[in-house]
């Protein structure tokens, strides 16, 4: 299985900000314009997917539809070829548990303007103890969010932090809620499963044939897990959400610098970086060609 996949082009995702603060790295992009510029730089360095968390000007995470529209507009008018993925965070909100983190996926987020609609939406497939708090995702709410994603004509990325969460996803496939081909993000070393290489191997060996997957090591594990994922034929993610350092003791200057280092790893392991069109085809977005996207978004700049 692995040797067959090694020659596939590699998709690099750049998670530009997340909830990372400028206290951890002063180069975290905050405003819609800063985020769009960061994505454009990352794209030219080799990123094909941008994972986006809109922020308010004070740096706090924004859940306002108007702010989503501003960010999506800036990204798609500045870098129309990038595949845009938004985070809806946890699916549930209860007293004392991650209050205010849930973003309801509705057309309001892109202002009923399909030219601004994101291509992918992250979907957490289970509850997690994360850095001293509970990241709550109940089974019913996961199913509801999955149906919202499909009803909006968007593809879900299944974010998995533990082995059991992958089994949750398989259960939803058997129930007909999730549709093949599946698109997994395996997150290691971030409060869930550890970044032991054996854990990534177990994830990958458990996948049905034809499944798209990305390996993500958090913090100091970012590049080691990426190296293994590239070698195994998977895809990779980096960015200031995932690591604020380019190497031990040295802060990353930008998201683009992190993507450039990831692209260098692809070269070392003999994996080509996916073109924008190849990335869309691998993710099941091939019905919308890059040339059509350029025409559609050109109007945004006029």
Domain boundaries, given as residue ranges, for the chain: 2-301
pLDDT digits (tens, 9 = 90+) for 142-183: 998 899 899 989 999 999 999 999 999 999 999 999 998 899
pLDDT tens profile 252-295? 999 999 999 999 999 999 999 999 999 999 999 865 544 444 44
Are 224 and 217 in contact, with CB atoms under 8 Å apart?
yes
Instruction: Reply yes or no on whether the pLDDT at 96 is more than 50.
Output: no
Whether 88 shows a pLDDT value over 90: the answer reads no
Domain 2-301 CATH class label: alpha beta
Q: Model's pTM, two decimal places? A: 0.90
From CA 284, how far away is CA 302, in angstroms rounded? 30
1 pLDDT higher than 50: no
Q: What is the structure's pLDDT at 289?
A: 46
CA atoms within 13 A on the CB side of 144: 14
- So what's the pLDDT on residue 108? 75
Q: Which two tokens stand for residue 266?
A: 């692809």
List Cα–Cα distances, 34 to 22, 27, 233, 254, in angstroms. Answer: 13, 10, 32, 11
* Mean pLDDT over each residue of the chain, to the nearest integer: 88
The more confidently predicted of residues 128 and 90 is 128
pLDDT digits over 31-42, tens only? 999 999 999 999
Pick 91 or 113 by higher pLDDT: 113
Banded pLDDT at 56 (limits 50, 70, 90): very high
Under the banding of pLDDT at 50, 70 and 90, the label for residue 114 is: confident
Torsion angle of the four alpha carbons 188, 192, 196, 202, in this order, in degrees rounded to the nearest 10: -80
182-212 pLDDT, tens per residue?
A: 999 999 998 899 999 999 999 999 999 889 9
Measured CA distances, 128 to 145, 193, 252 (Å): 17, 10, 28
pLDDT for position 290 = 47
User: Could you tell me whether strands 12-15 and 235-238 are parallel, antiparallel, or unpaired per DSSP bridges?
Assistant: parallel
Burial 270-294 (b: 16+ CB within 10 A, else e): ebebbebbbbbebbebeeeeeeebe
pLDDT bracket for residue 98 (50, 70, 90): very low
Between 90 and 185, residue with greater pLDDT: 185
């Amino acid at each position: 299985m692995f040797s067959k996949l090694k020659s596939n082009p590699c998709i690099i995702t750049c998670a530009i900000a997340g909830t990372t603060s400028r206290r951890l790295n002063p180069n975290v992009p905050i405003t819609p314009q800063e985020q769009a510029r960061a994505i454009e730089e990352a794209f030219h360095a080799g990123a094909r997917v941008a994972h986006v968390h809109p922020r308010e000007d004070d740096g706090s995470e924004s859940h306002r539809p108007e702010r989503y529209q501003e960010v999506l507009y800036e990204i798609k008018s500045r870098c129309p070829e990038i595949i845009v993925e938004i985070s809806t965070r946890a699916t549930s909100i209860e007293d004392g548990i991650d209050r205010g983190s849930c973003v309801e996926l509705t057309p309001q987020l892109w202002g009923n303007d399909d030219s601004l609609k994101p291509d992918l939406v992250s979907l957490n497939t289970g509850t997690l103890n994360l850095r001293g708090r509970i990241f709550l995702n109940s089974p019913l709410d996961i199913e509801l969010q999955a149906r919202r994603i499909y009803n909006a004509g968007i593809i879900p990325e299944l974010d998995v932090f533990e082995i059991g969460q992958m089994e949750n996803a398989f259960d939803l496939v058997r129930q007909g809620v999730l549709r093949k081909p599946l698109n997994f993000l395996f997150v290691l070393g971030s409060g869930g499963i550890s970044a032991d290489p054996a854990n990534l191997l177990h994830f990958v060996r458990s996948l049905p044939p034809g499944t798209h997957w990305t390996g993500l090591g958090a913090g100091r594990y970012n590049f080691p897990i990426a190296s293994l994922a590239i070698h195994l034929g998977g895809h990779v993610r980096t960015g200031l959400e995932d690591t604020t350092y380019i190497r031990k003791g040295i802060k990353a200057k930008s998201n683009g610098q992190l993507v450039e280092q990831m692209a260098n790893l692809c070269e070392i392991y003999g994996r080509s970086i996916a073109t924008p069109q190849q990335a869309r085809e691998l993710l099941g977005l091939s019905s919308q060609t890059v040339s059509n996207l350029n025409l559609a978004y050109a109007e945004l700049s006029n």
